[in-house]
Amino acid sequence: MRVVVTGCSGFLGREIVRQLLQRGDDVVGLSRRETPDLVRDGMEHHRGDLLDQDYLARVIPGADVVVHTAAVAGVWGPWQHYFDNNVVASRHMLDACQQNDVSQLVYTSSPSVTFGGEDQTHVDESEPYPDEFLCHYPHTKSIAEKEILDADQANQLRTVALRPHLIWGPEDPHLIPRVLDRARRGRLRIIGEGKNVIDTVHVTNAAAAHLNAIDALQNQPERAAGRAYFITQDEPVNCWDWITQLCEQHDVPPPKKSISFQAAYRIGATLERIYRWTGRRSEPPMTRFVAAQLAKDHSFDISAAKERLGYRPLINMDEGLQTLTSAPSTGQ
């Protein structure tokens, strides 16, 4: 199959490309950055911007599948920046797929599209979008997810959305480096009672779920298509015990001090107002979204992904943690 992967230079996109190449697919990578290592491995690369419809008109024809992982993530920044890169770019990709008879579109979404600030304990995909979002990233991802799923149509373009939660692993430039940096500088506090349970997913498993989705859309579209799926390790952990384990594994003092969720949330709300009033573009040291993410349960029922996509984690938590030891994160 000829598979186009957007965001191929990103953490997840790179692993999806590697797994597709390993099984012999013809892979075309789209990104704004060069990826010489993936090109050496056999990927065809086209550098460009998904907001450029002429660019998409050149690179999408001939594709059987598009895996759309490219997005702007974060908890702070202008609405228009998130809307353009997460919604408008996805609309352009959807249009390009429909105009060029692409048969499958796998969209990388996020569990945060269902998060409104309350505990989510073993929830499934019936969890609705919240009435109010705590930051622009999940809001814009929810808009794109809904539009892509609504575009699913039998005998034409079949679509699914995957929601991998807290992706981590070797070469992680985001989650683990950020946690370790804040802990190393003494700026990480346990928020709440420290008893919240979370799901995570190793990048190997998150990428494999995308290949599962491609195969399910090819072989049983009537069961797989038109739906969103939570993707996790299927091994919920205590958030702060897991963070402590990561810190100890990397010889970083784990957080000991704590702050109540209510206090952290109020601080986040105050800082957000100050940053908006003053026009500061840097991320506040605390936001309402971050406070809630670090204090609330986030665990998910992945029965649908198992039953409809054939998803099974390829490596468990202990094996995943060993990959960090053998190949330390290179993120800054």
| Active-site annotation holder among 55, 82, 129, 137 | 137
Query: Is pLDDT above 70 for 331?
Result: no
- Count Cβ atoms below 10 Å from residue 294 Cβ, excluding itself: 24
pTM exceeding 0.85: yes
pLDDT tens across 112-121, in order?
999 999 999 9
Taken in order of first residue, the domains within the chain and their CATH numbers are: 2-326 (3.40.50.720)
The verdict on whether 137 is a catalytic residue reads yes
Query: Is pLDDT above 50 for 332?
Result: no
Selection from 171, 173, 163, 117 nearest residue 142 by Cα: 163
Q: What is the pLDDT of residue 187?
A: 87
Selection from 145, 136, 44 nearest residue 83 by Cα: 136
308: helix, strand or coil: helix
Of 87-101, 277-291, 300-314, minimum mean pLDDT range: 277-291
Q: What is the pLDDT of residue 300?
A: 97
Binned at pLDDT 50, 70 and 90, residue 326 comes out as low
Query: Is pLDDT above 80 for 20?
Result: yes
DSSP for 60-103, please give it.
Answer: STT-SEEEE------S-S-HHHHIIIIIIHHHHHHHHHHHTT--
The mean pLDDT of 32-37, rounded to a whole number, is 93
Q: What is the pLDDT of residue 292?
A: 95
pLDDT tens across 230-254, in order?
999 999 999 999 999 999 989 999 9
Kindly report the average pLDDT of the chain as a whole number: 94
pLDDT tens across 166-225, in order?
999 998 888 889 899 999 998 899 999 999 999 999 999 999 999 999 999 999 999 999
pLDDT tens across 154-176, in order?
888 999 999 999 999 998 888 88
Selection from 6, 4, 329, 2 nearest residue 169 by Cα: 329
DSSP for 163-176, please give it.
Answer: EE-SEE-TT-SSHH
The mean pLDDT of 32-45, rounded to a whole number, is 94
Q: What is the pLDDT of residue 330?
A: 41
Query: What residues pair up with 28 in beta bridges, in sequence order?
Result: 4, 44
Query: Is pLDDT above 60 for 328?
Result: no
What percentage of the chain has pLDDT greater than the value 70?
98
* Contact predicate 174/164, CB 8 Å: no
pLDDT tens across 280-292, in order?
888 999 999 999 9
Q: Rounded to an integer, what distance in angstroms lies between the CA atom of residue 235 and that of residue 28?
A: 33
Q: What is the pLDDT of residue 171?
A: 87
